[in-house]
Every structure is written in C-alpha cells, then in structure tokens.
C-alpha cells in the first residue's frame, strides 16, 4: 500500500510540475525576449523529452520501478532549479533547458500507468479503478498547479532569485528533495521477473535417444522463447484496431487539454473584455479543474460498474459539446468570462474522464506480457498530444481561434469514426 501511495503521489507531483508554469510562462518568456509560441513550446517540450527518455529507461528497468523513480526525482530537482535560474542569469533558453530536464522526469508518467495495470500486483477488475485515481490526481494537478503559479506570480518580485517567475521552480525542487527521501525509505519494488532458462523436459517412454547419439535434442516451442514477431502474429486484426483506437484517443485527449491549458492565458490576455494577468489566468484554469473534481470522484465510483467503452463515449461526447459551444460563441463574438468558463469546464471534464480508460481497456484485452508495450504506446501517444497541443495552444491566437478549435473538432470526429466501427471489439470487463 505504501508503494502504491508513493506512485500515485508521484503522479500528482508530476502533474503539478507540468501545470504550475502554465499561468506565468507567457510573461516569463516575454520578459526574457520570447513570444507566445515559444511559451507553448516551453509548456509542451518536456513531454517530447519524456518520450525520448523512455528508450533507455525501458531497456534497463527490468520491469521494475525503483530505478525510474530515482531518475525522475533527480531530474525533477535539476530541471526546476534550471528553470528558476533563467531569471537571474537572464538567459531565455535556460527555461527551455530546465523544462527539458524536467521532461526526463515526466517519463515516470508511463511507469505510474504501468504500475496500476501491472498483472503482477493488480487484478483485471481493479485496473480502471486505479487508473481513475491517476485521473483524479490529473484533475488536482490541473487545479492546484495553475493556481499556485498565478498566486506566486502575484506575490511579486522582491528579489532576482526568488520571485513570481522563479518561485515555482525553487518550491517544487524542495518538495521533490523531501519526496525523494520518502521514496528511498518506503518504496518496495515488485518482484524481479524470472530470468529466461532452458526448460528441462522429461523424456517419454519410447522416445529415448540412443547413447552417444549426435542428433540435436529438440524441445517444443515455449512461450518464454517466443520472438516478438511470433507474439505480434498472435494479435488479431480487431485487436490491432482497438490498439490504434486507444492510442488515437489518448493522443487527442491530451492534445486538446494541453492546447487549452497553453492557450487560455494567451487568449485571455489578448481578449479585450478579459485582459487577464497570469494570476487571473491561473485562477480561471484552476477554477475549471476544481469544479470538475467532484465529478472525477463520482467517476471513480462509476468505473467499478460501467464498461470502459461507455466511459470513453461519455467523456468524449461531453468534451465535444464544449468544443462546439466554444466554436459558436467565437462565431457570434459572445466571449465573456461565463461563456468561456462553461466551455473550459466541459472540455476539462469530458476529456479527463475519457483518459481514464485508454490503457486499462488495452490491458484487459491483450496478454499480460504486453502490459509494458501497451503502457509505452499509450504514454507516447499522451506525450505526442501534450507537446503538439501545447505548441498549437500557444499559436492559437496567431492562427485564428476558429481554426484552433476546428482542428480539435476534426480530430475528435476521426476518433468517433474509429469508435463506432470498433464498438463491439471495445467491450471488456468492468472495474
């Protein structure tokens, strides 16, 4: 239980680290000579480096979690310190370097998901429930991160070291240092998987080899010795369809969430009747997240009795409704605090709910040995959505807000086609 709590808390801290810079990164970037698009890159670039970091980590983790935890804590501290030092050094690209280092730490997102679907410790009927806990942390990070970032910005600039731009980095570095101590003391890893050994099979009567025979001994094929190509050939065409569908929805959900998080501070500051400061933008984003939180708790209870495919359909429809409403108020030029909040709340709630089931659904349909591969596939889809979504969000005002939301609606439409075709294949056990 202590190890499970550590993994969930780690996911929560990583979510805060991702979101705490959202409200003030645009102003921080402008202060050091950057623009809104560069601000979007600052927000999204960590996930690209998280995906790259998974390449060596998955080669050496041996199916375990303690080593990635230590790596994540180490790079979180380094990245937060670099982000904070960019202001006194007055070097724009040090923000980028800091976020890239933090991105290596974000590789832990995949391990948190994999832990909650690991067949060694989690049964089929608990996987979506534990995935829902990760989404609850995602909602908390979405609320608390921007709020803290905006609040720290409002506190001010008493000196060049600890101020509204740098304080998120210093505070998060201190939190990770304390958490690292707890990880070292209390985390207990899963059992190490057995090494591959050649099976010694009894010889049936009548099949004994002659003494001193030079003929090579033959063994029946063992699942342990199956090559990747053999395993791939066992995956049916409908299962490949489900894999593609879940990866697409995973990418789309995080693309849309990431683009809105990056776009709201920029759009709010550029809109005449809003004129948001980073503090205002942080409060707005946080308000959307905190008002979604009770519904995410309800979702935590609902997943125990609801099929994954129905949760995915429900969340996607809610999120799509928010996008369509936003497109209509842009067309009618009726953007104000209330109408924008209704859209943001609907988008945040719907697509957060939809992210609950992408990995858990796959883990229930594919063999247990595929859990590591499906975790990587879903997480790389998440990372792709995050980085491209953040850049798209930072450029939203530049490309036109109707084009901004139109692309997102089209992406959901593609997912709806996949979902409709594969509806029967998406059925799994509840829980």
Convert the pLDDT of each residue in 34-58 to its tens digit. Answer: 887 888 888 888 988 998 999 899 8
Look at residue 113 and tell me whether its pLDDT is greater than 90. no
Give alpha helix (H) positions in 159-307: 167-186, 228-233, 237-270, 278-302
Indicate the domain borders of the chain: 2-191+230-426
Distance CA 289, CA 145 (A): 10
- Going by the DSSP 8-state scheme, the letter that residue 222 receives in this structure is -
Angle made by CA atoms 427, 429, 431, in degrees to the nearest 5: 125
Q: Count CB atoms within 10 A of the CB of residue 424.
A: 8
Q: Using one digit for the tens of pLDDT, what is the confidence trace for 124-167?
A: 778 888 888 888 888 888 889 889 988 888 887 778 888 888 99
Long-range own/partner contacts, residues 52-59 (CB < 8 A, 24 or more apart)? 53/103, 53/104, 53/107, 54/107, 54/110, 54/376, 54/379, 54/380, 57/107, 58/372, 58/376
Domain 2-191+230-426 architecture = Up-down Bundle (1.20)
Q: What pLDDT is stored for residue 272 in this prediction?
A: 83
Q: Using one digit for the tens of pLDDT, what is the confidence trace for 71-110?
A: 999 999 999 999 999 999 999 999 999 999 999 999 999 9
Indicate the angle between helix axes 278-302 and 237-270, nearest 10 degrees.
Answer: 150
Helix (H, G, I), strand (E, B) or coil at 164: coil
Distance CA 48, CA 387 (A): 6
Mean pLDDT of 243-257: 93
Look at residue 254 and tell me whether its pLDDT is greater than 70. yes
Mean pLDDT of 51-67: 90
- Where residue 227 falls among pLDDT bands split at 50, 70, 90? low
Q: What pLDDT is stored for residue 213 in this prediction?
A: 40
Look at residue 337 and tell me whether its pLDDT is greater than 60. yes
Residue 382 to residues 48, 106, 242: CA-CA distances in angstroms?
10, 11, 16
Q: How much of the chain, in percent, has pLDDT values that exceed 70?
A: 90
């Amino acid at each position: 239980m202590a190890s499970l709590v550590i993994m969930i808390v780690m996911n929560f801290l990583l979510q805060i680290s991702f979101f705490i810079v959202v409200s003030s990164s645009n102003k921080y970037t402008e202060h050091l000579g950057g623009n809104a698009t560069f601000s979007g890159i600052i927000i999204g670039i960590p996930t690209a480096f998280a995906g790259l970091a998974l390449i060596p980590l998955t080669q050496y983790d041996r199916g375990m979690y303690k080593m990635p935890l230590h790596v994540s804590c180490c790079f979180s501290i380094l990245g937060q310190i670099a982000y904070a030092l960019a202001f006194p050094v007055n070097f724009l690209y040090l923000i980028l370097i800091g976020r890239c280092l933090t991105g290596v730490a974000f590789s832990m997102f995949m391990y948190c998901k994999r832990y909650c679907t690991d067949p060694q410790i989690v049964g089929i009927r608990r996987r979506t429930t534990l995935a829902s806990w990760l989404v609850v942390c995602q909602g908390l990070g979405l609320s608390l991160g921007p709020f803290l970032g905006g609040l720290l910005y409002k506190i001010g600039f008493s000196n060049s070291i600890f101020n509204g731009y740098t304080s998120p980095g210093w505070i998060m570095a201190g939190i990770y240092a304390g958490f690292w101590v707890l990880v070292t003391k209390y985390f207990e890893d899963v059992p190490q998987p057995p090494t591959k050994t050649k099976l010694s099979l009894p010889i049936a009567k009548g099949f004994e080899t002659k003494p001193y025979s030079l003929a090579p001994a033959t063994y029946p094929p063992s699942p342990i010795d199956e090559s990747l190509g053999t395993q791939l050939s066992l995956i049916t065409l409908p299962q490949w369809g489900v894999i593609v569908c879940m990866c697409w929805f995973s990418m789309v959900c995080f693309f849309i969430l990431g683009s809105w998080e990056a776009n709201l501070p920029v759009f709010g500051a550029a809109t005449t009747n809003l004129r948001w400061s980073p503090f205002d933008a942080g409060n707005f984003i946080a308000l959307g997240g905190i008002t979604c939180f009770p519904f995410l708790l309800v979702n935590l209870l609902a997943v125990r009795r609801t099929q994954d495919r129905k949760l995915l359909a429900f969340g996607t429809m809610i999120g799509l409704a928010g996008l369509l409403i936003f497109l209509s108020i842009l067309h009618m030029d009726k953007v104000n605090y209330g109408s924008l909040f209704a859209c943001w709340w609907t988008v945040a709630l719907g697509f957060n709910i939809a992210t609950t089931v992408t990995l858990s659904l796959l883990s229930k349909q594919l063999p247990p040995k595929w859990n590591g591969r499906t975790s990587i596939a879903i997480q790389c889809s998440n990372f792709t959505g995050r980085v491209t979504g953040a850049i798209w969000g930072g450029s939203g005002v530049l490309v036109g807000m109707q084009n901004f939301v139109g692309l997102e609606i089209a992406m959901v439409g593609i997912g709806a086609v996949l979902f409709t075709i594969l509806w029967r294949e998406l059925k799994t056990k509840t829980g």
